[in-house]
Structure 1
Amino acid sequence: MSQDDVHHLIIGRKPVQELLHTAPEKIETIYLQNRPGRDLHAIIDLCRTLHIKFKRLPADKLHHIFPGNHQGVIARIMSKGFCTLDEVITSSLASPFPLVLALDQVQDPGNLGTLCRTLFALGGGGIIVPKNRSAFPGPAASRASAGALEKIPMAQVTNLSRALETCARAGVPIYGAGLGKDAASLFAARLVLPAVLVLGNEEKGIRPGVLKRCDHLLTIPMAGTFDSLNVAQAGAMIMGQFLRTRHAQKG
C-alpha cells in the first residue's frame, strides 16, 4: 500500500464515527469486518441513515486495505471536494473551453484521471459524475490526472439524468458518445459550445435513461477491426474535435 493510499483512509471506530457526524460528504465507502459486534451497529445505522456506502469484508481483506489495528472499521475518503452542479455549470460558461464532461458510471480511476487531465489541459469547464458506481477520485485517479483532478470543478450527483435536465434548462446542449442508427459521425456533426459531453461506462456505454437526455449522439468512424475505443481515448478525440470547432468559430 502506498503512502498516498493511507492518507485517504480513516482508521478505527471513533474516528470513523466522528467523520460520519461531522463530514459524511467526504466518505466514499466504509469497510466493516464481517459479523460486527454491537459496537459497530451504530456505524451501520448511521451509514443507512446518511446513505453512505458500506461493505462487509472478511478480516483478511480488511487487513489488506490497512494492515494495522483498524478495530474492524475503515473509511475511505475522497481526495477532493465536490462542487455543486450549478457551480460546475457556471464555471464552464466562464471557461476558455466551455465543455462539461458527464461520466455515466465510468469506473476505472485511470480513465477518470486521464479524462480530467485532457479536459483541464484544454481549458474545460468541469465534470459531473453520479454518486454510485463511479470511479473513486482517489490516489489512482489523481496520479493519472497529473494533478488536474484537484484543480478542475467536479460535481457528484445522485441522479445523472436529472442533472443533465438541469444543464438543458440552462440552455446547454447535451451530446452523447456512442453507437446506433441515430449517431452522427463526429467529423460531420455540427458541434456547438457551451455543451455537455456524456461518456458511458467502459463496457455498457451510456445507460438508456441517460441517453434519452442527449440532444445529439456522436460516433467515431472506425476503419479497423475494432468497433470502439477506450473511453479516455474516445473522450480525448471528441474533446479535440470540439476544440477545433471552437477555434474555427473564433476565426
Structure 2
Amino acid sequence: MENVVMGRKPVLELVQREPAMVEQVLIRQGLQGQDIKELTNLCRDAGIRFRFLPAEGLERTVPDCRQGVAAFIFGQSFVPLESLLESARHAPLPVVLALDQVQDPGNVGTLARTLLALGGGGLIVPKHHGSRLGGSASKASAGALERIPVHQCVNLSRDLEECAQEGFTVYKAEAGPEGQDVFTSQVRFPLVLVLGGEEKGVRPGVAKHCQESLFIPMPGEFDSLNVAQAGAVILGQMARQAFGGK
C-alpha cells in the first residue's frame, strides 16, 4: 500500500528516526506491550497523531495489517517555517500557500501542482484537521508534493503572525465581494495566501491574522468553484503580476 509502513518494529523505528515524515499512526485496539507503550509515548512527544481502531476498522483502512500497527507517511520531510520563508523570498513567484483545514486530498494535491508549476515558494499545512499528504494527495499533485517545500504547523494563526513579522503580506481568499477584486488589485510580494476548507472557508480565528482579502468576481451567475479551482485562479493572477504581465 502506497505511503504506508506496517509492523510494530518498522513503525517504531520510523517514529524514532524520522518523526517529521509520519503523518498518523494507527494501532489495533487491544494491542499491549512495551513496544506499543514506547510508540505512543514517542508519538505524544513528537506531536504525531495516533489512533486505536477496532480490528475491522483497521483492516478497512490498511488491508493486510497483520501486526496491528501502521503509519501513514509523507514522502518528503517537512521543513521549518523559517526555511520555507527564506526559500519563498527567492522563488519566481514569491507566494506561500497556507491551507486552513482543506480536507480533500485531491484539492491539496492539485493546489501543490499549480503552485509548483507557477514557481511558488511552498506550502503551510496543519498537523491536525487537514488532508493527509500521502496517497491520493501525492497522486493528484503528480509529484509536486515531493518537490516543493512543505511546513507542517500546529497553530496556523501563530505561523501567520510570524510570516507577517518576516515581511510577508498575509491575504485570505473570500467567497463574497468583501475583499479586493483579484483581477484588478495589486498584491504585495512576498505574500502568504490563505485558502479555507471546502465547507466553512477560512476560520474566523485564522482570518483575524490576515491583513488583506481577495475575492473572485463571478458574473456568470455560477459561484461554485472548489478550493483548488479558486486557488488556481488567484495564483494565476498573482503570477501575472510577478512576471510583469499586464
TM-score (norm 2): 0.91
Q: Which residue of 1 aligns with 2:98?
A: 102
**Would you say how many aligned residue pairs link Structure 1 and Structure 2?**
245
Deviation at 1:212, TM superposition (A): 0.9
What is the RMSD of the two structures over their aligned residues, measured on CA atoms? Answer: 1.9
Q: Which residue of 2 aligns with 1:10?
A: 5
Q: Is the 8 A contact 1:32 1:72 kept in 2?
A: yes
Q: Which residue of 2 aligns with 1:141?
A: 137
With over 3 angstroms needed to count, the CA separation of the structure-2 counterparts of 1:124 and 1:49, relative to structure 1, is closer
Deviation at 1:213, TM superposition (A): 1.2
Q: Is the 8 A contact 1:8 1:76 kept in 2?
A: yes
- Aligned equivalents of 1:87, 1:128: Cα separation in 2: 12
Q: Is the 8 A contact 1:80 1:137 kept in 2?
A: no
- Aligned equivalents of 2:147, 2:101: Cα separation in 1: 21
Which runs of structure 1 show a deviation greater than 6 angstroms over 4 or more consecutive aligned residues? none
Aligned-partner residue type, residue 154 of structure 1: V
- Aligned equivalents of 2:174, 2:118: Cα separation in 1: 22
Does structure 1 residue 51 correspond to structure 2 residue 52? no
Q: Is the 8 A contact 1:222 1:228 kept in 2?
A: no
Does structure 1 residue 223 correspond to structure 2 residue 182? no
Q: Which residue of 2 aligns with 1:71?
A: 67
Secondary structure of the residue aligned to 1:61 is: helix
Pairs within 5 Å for 1:169-248: 169-180=165-176, 182-248=178-244
Aligned-partner residue type, residue 236 of structure 2: G
Deviation at 1:222, TM superposition (A): 2.0
Does structure 1 residue 28 correspond to structure 2 residue 11? no
With over 3 angstroms needed to count, the CA separation of the structure-2 counterparts of 1:196 and 1:69, relative to structure 1, is closer
Q: Which residue of 2 aligns with 1:3?
A: none
Deviation at 1:234, TM superposition (A): 0.2
Unaligned runs of 5+ in 2: none
Q: Is the 8 A contact 1:10 1:16 kept in 2?
A: yes
- Aligned equivalents of 2:22, 2:182: Cα separation in 1: 38
Q: Is the 8 A contact 1:192 1:245 kept in 2?
A: no
Please point out which of 140, 151, 154 is paired with 1:155.
Answer: 151
Q: Is the 8 A contact 2:164 2:170 kept in 1?
A: yes
- Aligned equivalents of 1:208, 1:114: Cα separation in 2: 25
- Aligned equivalents of 1:16, 1:200: Cα separation in 2: 32
Deviation at 1:69, TM superposition (A): 5.1
Measured against aligned partners, the alpha-carbon deviations of 1:128-180 in whole angstroms (never above 9, x if no partner) come to 11111121111311221111111111111111111111111111111110135
TM-score (norm 1): 0.90
- Aligned equivalents of 1:142, 1:84: Cα separation in 2: 20
- Aligned equivalents of 2:208, 2:25: Cα separation in 1: 33
| Percent identity over paired residues | 49
Does structure 1 residue 117 correspond to structure 2 residue 113? yes
- Aligned equivalents of 1:135, 1:69: Cα separation in 2: 22
Q: Which residue of 1 aligns with 2:89?
A: 93
